[in-house]
Structure 1
Amino acid sequence: MSQLTERGTTLSSHGRTAARRSSAIGTAVISGVTAAGLGLGALAVAVLLLWVASPYPDSGPSRALHLAAGLWFTAHGGGLVREATSSGTPAPVGTVPLLLVALPVWLLHRATRDTLATAALPEPAGDPEAPAAAPEVAPRTLLGALLTGYLLVAAGALLYTSTGRLSAAPLAALLAVPGTAFATVAATAWHTLGPDAAALLPDRVTRALDALPAALRAALTGPRLRTAGKAAAAATLALLAAGTALALLGLLLHPGRFGDDLGQLAPDWVGRSTVLLLCLALLPNAAVWGAAYGLGPGFAVGTGTAVGPLGTSPRPALPHFPLLSGLPEPGPGAWPVVVLALVVPAAAVVQLARYAAGDGHRSWRRTAGTAALAAGLCALAMTVLAGLAGGALGERALASFGPSGWLTGLVTAGWTGLVAVPGTLGLRAWRRSSVHRAAPGRTPGRHLPDLPLRRRAGHRTPKDAAGPEPRPEAGRAPRPKEDGDRGSREDRETREPAA
């Protein structure tokens, strides 16, 4: 009888374990579905509101929903295909509004963080004072379930947008959506777990990492990588901030052209609001274009064109879009423009050296290695951003828009590697010398031993002669002075009653 009871208890515990495992995996799948659904829903609501407010809606809500789904795929880096063209040939639309990328990335980041928190905090045992039991499901399994739920919604949205005037490019969507989702989940896991996130990698990758030299493995997983990551992030943000300033300065120098383009593109207030929202979504793209302009390689505004600080080539007729109204006129660049453009790499160099130098206590080799690693990460980030910020807007003359990804990354590596690394070493030396100067030192020469100095009895002050005041005993309040006590002149005047 006891054997049957023990067997039933064992089977029941296994059943509860399987149920908790299934529940955790199902929750992760639902989290992925929710993250994708919220992104689609937010874009659908925005597009439908603009469609309702439009005084001349030329189609039903189905076209607006197709546009929302296409924008969702564009936010992941995928391209669109415009079927309705004047030539009858489908035209690609490859420019990604970088501000829209923040929506799916933020939703996936939150879902991944909550999933990792669930995996890291298992349910305790029956006794509330007993230690927590091991997690029932591995974090790798939960993250795989999260990605599965997200990609299931993406597959349904791809089937929905396969027809229509503006549809998602199938090949680009199949590559961009899983790539963006996987990169976001991996970055969130690394940010949440730190070096422990390496345990989430497949066994083959882990064995390959273990086979690397110890110095390289320590550089990729140790605190040096975190310091280099902060320096690279600061340098990249400085590049984007300086690029934004250049783009806005170009628009401020041509206010009339901006108003004319806005009026020709949208005559009513709803259309103008839509165009301004699109300009806001493309403002990070303009920041990347401005950063590429300041770094030197510039960007293209059509096939065979170039816009840079040293000069601007003749360009074809461009669409009347307000953000393009700040482009410089064709011709050689003036020296004030060149000097102003140097603010972009200077800002990146200063920020990278500031974070990579630290407090100056590391060795010069470790400091130089950290700065070089930060320069490589900054160049990689600018390569990705430049590749996403540009793309085709059509065919022939409109087939090339924006900066070149590999050229922008190469020039960024040159600026940060050749200028920021020596600057980091110089800043380290200056900080070390500042610390040595601020430390209490002795002047060179002969010094007397450190002995306590005693005053002579004839040179005692009245305060020294009186000796230290007696401290009150613990737990007993100090005794107030009475009228017969000797005190200072101020105390006696205070105790005397007013006449």
Structure 2
Amino acid sequence: MAVDVGDRPTVLVDTGKHPTVKLPGQRRPVDGKGRAPLAVAAAFATVWAALISYLPVALIIGLARSLEGQGGVGAAAHAGLAGWLLGHGVPIGTSIGPLGLAPLLLTLLAGWRLNRAGLHVTRAIGARRSGSARAALLVAGAIGAAYGILGLLAALVVDGRGTDVSPGRAAFHLFVAGLVCSLVGALRGTDALVVIARRMPPPLRHGLRTGVVAALLILAAGAAFAGLSIAIGGGQAADMIGAFRTGVAGQTGITLVSLGYGANGAVWAAAYLLGPGFLLGTDSSVRLTELTVGPLPTLPLLAGLPNGPMGASGAALLAVPVLAAMAAGWLLTRRLMGIHHVVAGHLRDNRHAVRPGEALPAEPAWSMVLGSALLAGPVAGVLLGLLAWLSGGSLGNGRLADIGPVPWHVALIATAVVGVSSCIGAAAGRAFRAPVHK
């Protein structure tokens, strides 16, 4: 029946015994009531995100320096700013050369807070669930500009007190970081990410998801391998920490610095498992089949380095990324089959939506399964290559001027391994599926 409530839209209420259909939630209109100005919301959220990522660095350095009697609050704040900029990939010039090896754990913390800032600003300006990609871009642009200004100010403070920093480079790095990381949160907040995903061709959408899953599984394997290696070399790590005659505070600082670079170690271990390996200085190589290194810094993180080239066990380690990518392909097939069964069930319940004599496919098409799995290779390759690039850097102008994996080597090998292995896993899931009980 129809209920007329004046100027309000007419609502049809079905009281028959028909299947209940739940309508999707309506997006809220974007109006000017109760929303904060974009500039104010972006400035507040950006400053808060910067403080959350800066304070842990300053507190750790301040604790170590104060307990050892080295400097005061000002010195700790200065060193904390330098470390914070380094976490964003800004090289710090020192007496031994530029320090450009960013602690990825700090980078991840900063990126997470910027992601949350994009989400919070989207809510503050009233654009939540608006489906507007334009609003998300405006939010990301405002946060990126504010973050770039903070980077410029931080570089001006750090530059000239025993450290050299390029203000222009710092502003650019932080602008890009703020723009990219906050854009993800803003797209989620406006639901524009859902709109974009629905407009993508299904093979591309599923291929993107599978590639991300494969990359995360390979990184998880690398993190597990790195943690196990350090645990096995725990005695050597303890000796490295004890070699620093700086007391408990200094040794605690060295341990926390190693933890900050733990994410770098996970990426390096993933590159090691994939085959390209990584560098620990010029004319060095750490691969499954080769180990050539010179004198290294005394850091507990390096206690997990292998003692030499792997033999038969090295071949088994090469299978780890293959199995991870196969698992991602198998999950792709299970997801596609689940979607297919739901859609087929709805079509069977609504027979008028099916043309007379038209047969429903029993399973998702092979072209969909293999096409999506094949696209996962380049996606995983780009992600792992980008992480390899972020995890590398320099420790001065000397022999340690080149540290980390070679990005394009990792990207190329990961593309091939994930592309082929995910196709095998997806095909196995499609061919050896469990019987469907109707």
Counterpart of 1:74 in structure 2 is: 86
Q: 1:367 aligns with which of 349, 358, 369?
A: 369
- State the distance in 2 between where 1:324 and 1:333 align: 17
Which of structures 1 and 2 has the larger relative contact order (alpha carbons within 8 angstroms, sep 6+)? Answer: 2
Which letter does structure 1 place at the counterpart of 2:53?
G
Which letter does structure 2 place at the counterpart of 1:117?
R
Q: 2:162 aligns with which of 155, 159, 165?
A: 165
Which letter does structure 1 place at the counterpart of 2:57?
L
**For each residue in 1:124-149, what CA deviation from the matched residue of structure 2 results, as whole angstroms up to 9, or x when unmatched?**
xxxxxxxxx9x9x9554444333332
State yes or no: 1:389 paired with 2:391.
yes
* 1:143-154 → structure 2 map (5 Å cutoff): 143-154=140-151
Q: Give the TM-score normalised by the residue count of structure 2.
A: 0.78
Counterpart of 1:343 in structure 2 is: 320
**For each residue in 1:386-423, what CA deviation from the matched residue of structure 2 results, as whole angstroms up to 9, or x when unmatched?**
11111111223111111111111110001011222232
SS in structure 2 opposite 1:265?
coil
Which letter does structure 1 place at the counterpart of 2:151?
A
Counterpart of 1:250 in structure 2 is: 229
- State the distance in 2 between where 1:413 and 1:305 align: 25
- State the distance in 2 between where 1:22 and 1:334 align: 62
Counterpart of 1:328 in structure 2 is: 306
- State the distance in 2 between where 1:174 and 1:246 align: 36
Shift, 1:266, TM fit: 4.6
Counterpart of 2:437 in structure 1 is: 439
* 1:47-446 → structure 2 map (5 Å cutoff): 47-52=61-66, 54-57=67-70, 59-83=71-95, 85=96, 91-120=97-126, 138=135, 140-170=137-167, 172-195=169-192, 221-222=200-201, 224-313=203-292, 315-330=293-308, 332-355=309-332, 358-360=335-337, 361-431=363-433, 434=434, 437-439=435-437
**For each residue in 1:235-259, what CA deviation from the matched residue of structure 2 results, as whole angstroms up to 9, or x when unmatched?**
2221122112222232233333222
Return 175-184 or 147-156, whichever deviates more: 147-156
| Aligned positions, number | 380
**For each residue in 1:418-455, what CA deviation from the matched residue of structure 2 results, as whole angstroms up to 9, or x when unmatched?**
22223212212222xx2xx3335xxxxxxxxxxxxxxx
Which letter does structure 1 place at the counterpart of 2:94?
R
Structure-2 change in CA distance of 1:277 and 1:171 (3 Å): same
- State the distance in 1 between where 2:41 and 2:277 align: 47
- State the distance in 2 between where 1:171 and 1:153 align: 12
Structure-2 change in CA distance of 1:366 and 1:193 (3 Å): farther
Shift, 1:170, TM fit: 4.2
Instruction: Give me the CA root mean square deviation.
Output: 3.0
Q: Give the TM-score normalised by the residue count of structure 1.
A: 0.69
SS in structure 2 opposite 1:44?
helix
Shift, 1:42, TM fit: 4.1
Counterpart of 1:29 in structure 2 is: 43
Structure-2 change in CA distance of 1:402 and 1:148 (3 Å): closer
Structure-2 change in CA distance of 1:369 and 1:69 (3 Å): same
SS in structure 2 opposite 1:92?
strand
Which letter does structure 1 place at the counterpart of 2:45?
S
Structure-2 change in CA distance of 1:254 and 1:221 (3 Å): same
Percent of residue pairs identical: 27
Task: Determine if contact 1:28/1:145 at 8 Å carries over to the other structure.
Answer: yes
* 1:456-495 → structure 2 map (5 Å cutoff): none
Counterpart of 1:460 in structure 2 is: none
Task: Determine if contact 1:195/1:222 at 8 Å carries over to the other structure.
Answer: no
Which consecutive unaligned segments of at least 5 residues does structure 1 have?
1-16, 86-90, 123-132, 200-217, 441-499
Which letter does structure 2 place at the counterpart of 1:354?
L
